[in-house]
Amino acid sequence: MNEREIPAVPARVLNGATLHTFEDFRFSIFERRGGRAPDIDRPEILEWLGRFIGRIHAVGQIKPYVERSALDIQTFSYEPREFLLAHGFVPKDVQEAYETLVKIALEGVERCYERAGDVKSIRLHGDCHPSNVL
């Protein structure tokens, strides 16, 4: 990513791959790099961060993200709900309330998807908070 002026710490390649599994967990390994949280009280820093994140997203839409699964309503809403219910993670005494609340929440999310219409998915930095921006 250096050629696009995005300094990133790449995942280590081990046995020819950067994405690994252990049991049901997927993980990558990165070189440790020091850094510090940006001073978000300064407008010029926020402006710089905004431009930088915009550049990250512009590069992210150049090609599809084939190494990781998409974060969509199916994989981040319906499947986890079914998993939790099917494996007894929700205590019986709150299961009805849980199912009702999740149903209401998912109806709201579905409406948001309907309003958004057909959108283009891009790769982006979705875990953006001061301690995760070097």
Q: Where are the beta strands (DSSP E) in the chain?
A: 20-22, 25-27
Whether 28 is covered by a domain: the verdict is no
Q: At 60, list the tokens.
A: 């992210």
The pTM for the full model equals 0.54
From first to last of the 134 residues of the chain, give the pLDDT tens digit. Answer: 557 777 778 899 999 999 999 999 999 999 988 777 788 899 999 898 888 888 888 888 888 777 667 778 898 899 999 999 999 999 999 999 999 999 999 999 999 989 998 887 777 777 777 777 65
Whether 103 is covered by a domain: the verdict is yes
- The domain total for the chain is 1
Whether 27 is covered by a domain: the verdict is no
Whether 46 is covered by a domain: the verdict is yes
Range of the domain at 115: 37-132
Residue 12 makes CB contacts below 8 A (sequence gap 6+) with: 18, 28, 29, 30, 31
Amino acid occupying residue 123: R
Whether 30 is covered by a domain: the verdict is no
User: Shortest CA distance to 108 belongs to which of 70, 69, 77, 75?
Assistant: 77
Whether 68 is covered by a domain: the verdict is yes
Q: At 70, list the tokens.
A: 């998409």
